[in-house]
Amino acid sequence: MSVANGTRPFGLSDIKFTPAGGGSLTDIPLAKSLDWTIEYEEEELTGDDAVAATRYYNQKVTGSIEAGGINAAVVAVITGGVLTTTGTGATMKTVVAVKGASIAPYLKLEGLAKADDGTNADFHVVIYKARFTGPSWTLEEGTWVLTAADFTGIPDASDNLVDFVWNSTTAAIT
């Protein structure tokens, strides 16, 4: 793979997540944005009135997502709620019950953007162990409901924090 392939990603084609320990892939429909920042911890060695050395530690990844609409499966996962569906046809009803003790699980979060450089390449960001915090929705006259949530990612058991992946050929999130 040439590094030049996929170096100009455009837009956001997909966001999906799985439980951090493995499990079913959940798609975030109508993905609008995925923002992330790697946060560092810095230690300095000082002496003789000078800084002799610095050391940076990748501590965590913080960020947010935004998507169009409100999807019950996504709401259940990002809130730690329990999804139930009852009835059929005209009596079908889906409820996501979020309790005071509900805890959002750790997830492996992945976003994809296709290249805009004349290739069939793409770019992925993989955050290995993230937990959503502060999901929010607004019902407002004249506008669509959007799903928004912040997240914090920490290293997983293998010390994976975040991967930046350039594929020479577009690859689906798996």
What's the CATH number where 71 sits? 2.30.110
Mind listing the pLDDT tens digit of every residue in the chain (174 residues)? 455 566 788 999 999 999 988 889 999 999 999 999 999 989 999 999 999 999 988 899 999 999 999 999 999 999 999 999 999 999 999 999 999 999 999 999 999 999 887 788 899 999 999 999 989 999 999 999 999 999 999 999 999 999 999 998 899 998
Six-digit token string for 86: 């009852």
The amino acid that residue 35 corresponds to is D
Q: How many domains does the chain have?
A: 1
- For 73, the 3-state DSSP assignment is helix
Six-digit token string for 4: 């030049």
Q: pTM to 2 decimals?
A: 0.87
Asked whether residue 1 is assigned to any structural domain, the reply reads no
Six-digit token string for 105: 């699980």
Asked whether residue 172 is assigned to any structural domain, the reply reads no
Burial (CB < 10 A; 0-12, 13-18, 19+), residue 111, is: buried
Could you list the residue range(s) of the whole structural domain that residue 25 is in? 9-43+54-167
Asked whether residue 75 is assigned to any structural domain, the reply reads yes
Q: Measured between alpha carbons, how far is 120 from 79 in angstroms, rounded to an integer?
A: 36
pLDDT score recorded for residue 53: 94
Beta-carbon contacts of residue 158 (< 8 Å; ≥ 6 apart): none
pLDDT score recorded for residue 119: 81
Strands 107-115 and 122-136: antiparallel
